Structure 1
Amino acid sequence: MFQCGDRNNIGVLLRHWNILLRGKRTEGLLARLAAYNAFP
């Protein structure tokens, strides 16, 4: 997937991983808010 010593690709992968985790976290928050709005 990435070559030996290719630190740039690893940095890009970590950045995308952080974005994915943040996206899942906000997704969970939105789902929680939707549940609260559905059941007051």
Structure 2
Amino acid sequence: MFKKVTGVTLASYIRARRLTKAAVELRLTKKLSLRSH
């Protein structure tokens, strides 16, 4: 059902969401660490 609606499997969707969240967190962490130096 999920794949019919979204075009991707639930596992693929969850993986993509986690990677996106991790990338955002890395970017924010990088910005914060640059400010402290």
Shorter-normalised TM-score: what interval? 0.7 to 0.9
The alignment yields a C-alpha RMSD, in angstroms, of: 1.3
Q: Deviations over 1:1-33 (max 9, x none)?
A: xxx711110100000000000000000000110
1:24 aligns with 2:14: no
Higher helix share: 2
Q: Distance in 1 between matches of 2:10 and 2:34?
A: 36
Report % sequence identity: 13
Please tell me whether Structure 1 or Structure 2 has the larger radius of gyration of its CA atoms. 1
Q: Which amino acid aligns with 1:16?
A: L
Q: Distance in 2 between matches of 1:17 and 1:32?
A: 23
4+ residue runs of structure 1 moved beyond 2 angstroms?
A: none
Report how many residues are paired. Answer: 31
